[in-house]
Homo-oligomer: A and B are copies of this chain.
């Protein structure tokens, strides 16, 4: 469970960290597991504890973790099926279908966009 941030990126640190946690949610990180204590993670990432807590609170607002004093940040059950991009994917496929683009064409566009 390794989280990273890049201080030289224009993306805010707390957003980078939240993104890093979400990324782990799709892999090994399961419901009930604990994230590192904010003070520990802040120390190892060399960022302020407030920055870590802001990322945690963002994830809490999204329903991905529970925060409790003394216990820390715990991955929720609903975090497993969480996908905020689903709405956009639905819109994309609807529009593509309307214009006569098939699955492979769309996936090709996605790959190209990721590569750019």
Chain A residues near B (Cβ < 8 Å): 11, 15, 18-24, 26, 83-86, 88-93, 95-103, 105-107, 109-111, 113-114
Contact = CB atoms under 8 A, between A and B. Distances in A.
B15 A102 contact: no
Nearest to A98: B19
A24 to B, nearest CB: 8
Contacts of A92: 85, 88-89, 92, 110, 113
A84 to B, nearest CB: 6
A36 to B, nearest CB: 17
Contacts of A109: 83, 85-86, 89
A114 to B, nearest CB: 4
A95 B83 CA distance: 10
Contact of A106 (B11, B96, B98, B110): B110
A83 B92 CA distance: 12
